Amino acid sequence: MNHRHLPLLLSFASHLTGCSFTASVVPDTPDVSRVTVTTDSGDVEVRVADVSEPVVRYRRGTFSADSTPSVHLSDDGTTLVVDDGCSELDAAVCHVDFEITLPDRPFHVHLASDSGELKVVGLRGSVSATTDSSDLQVKDATLSEIAMTSDSGDLRLRGTHSDAVSLTSNSGAIDAD
């Protein structure tokens, strides 16, 4: 596959407990209408703000020289694909949190995590989200469809309107208002 990798604007910060690496991606992506995020052990927050293009920030909670978060466009240029680069690594040595800020236009968002919390705020469009052992939350969204699945995490909908809703949790609470 040919993927167009997007430019990174980089900044570094040091903490007493170790190093934290943060990058912002500001892609030239006028045709993007879909966002797909895959992470093994990091939290993901997707929110809408007054930006003209999608912005992706990530923070490595634990560092592994073998992992590199990936942000690229699909071949057709309509999907922003974000991956933590940890798929073959132990979560103890690879943990990446993502914050994705989207313009206020409809997006189809798919989030998948093994053990990171997933949160979506203010989105228009649709959401599908799955996690094995963390909470999922959608807040203040207007969606054509929402599907949330968790093996052992809580599912929360707050101030969200949707034409079609599917919420499934094997051992977590489901709370929708």
In a domain, 34, yes or no: yes
In a domain, 171, yes or no: no
In a domain, 22, yes or no: yes
- With 0-12 / 13-18 / 19 or more C-beta atoms within 10 angstroms meaning exposed / middle / buried, residue 143 is buried
In a domain, 102, yes or no: yes
Distances (CA, A) of 39 to 60, 81, 86, 88, 156: 12, 11, 7, 11, 20
Q: Give the pLDDT score at 147.
A: 97
First to last CA, the chain: 42
User: pLDDT class for 73, splitting at 50, 70, 90?
Assistant: confident
Higher pLDDT, 46 or 22: 46
User: Is residue 106 within 8 Å of residue 124, measured between CB atoms?
Assistant: yes
In a domain, 94, yes or no: yes
Full domain range(s) for residue 10: 4-132
User: pLDDT class for 65, splitting at 50, 70, 90?
Assistant: low
How much is the pTM? 0.83
- Closest to 113 measured CA to CA, from 66, 73, 153, 80: 153
Q: Give the pLDDT score at 18.
A: 39
In a domain, 89, yes or no: yes
User: Is residue 57 within 8 Å of residue 43, measured between CB atoms?
Assistant: no
In a domain, 8, yes or no: yes
Q: Rounded distance, CA 159 to CA 140, Å?
A: 5
In a domain, 174, yes or no: no
Number of domains in the chain: 1
User: Is residue 38 within 8 Å of residue 100, measured between CB atoms?
Assistant: no
Mean pLDDT of 129-156: 94
